[in-house]
Amino acid sequence: MPAAIAVVVGFVFGIIFLAGLLDMLLELWGEKPLGYVLPRWAKAFPLYSAGLVLVMGALLGHFFLHVPRP
């Protein structure tokens, strides 16, 4: 079981690290970073972005707050 938990932990940390790295590299290259481009996309497609936030929020709630009966 610990190895499987380690894979999940590595996956979560890895994804966020890669996204942050891409964000930083774009800024270093003088390009618009994700923090600039994604909100513009969200503004252009508010329903899509609201839906995405809803799905992500539901997943977070499910993964982190969905606890069994004591």
Partner 1 sequence: MLALALALWLALGAATIQTVLQVRDVTCFDDSRAPVWPAEWRYYAMAITCYLAFVAGRLTPGLRFYAREIRALRKTNPAAAAAREHVPGKAAIAAQAGLMLLFGLFTLALAYEALGLYQLDFGAGSLHPITTYTRCAIAMDPVRATFVAASISYLLGHWLWWR
Q: Which residues bind partner 1 (CB under 8 A)?
A: 1-6, 8-10, 12-17, 19-24, 26-27, 29, 31-43, 46, 49, 52-53, 55-57, 59-70
Query: At a CB cut-off of 8 Å and minimum separation 6, what does 48 contact?
Result: 42
Residue 25 beta carbon to partner 1: minimum distance, rounded to whole angstroms: 9
Phi-psi region of 44 (alpha: psi -120 to 50; beta: other; left: phi over 0): alpha
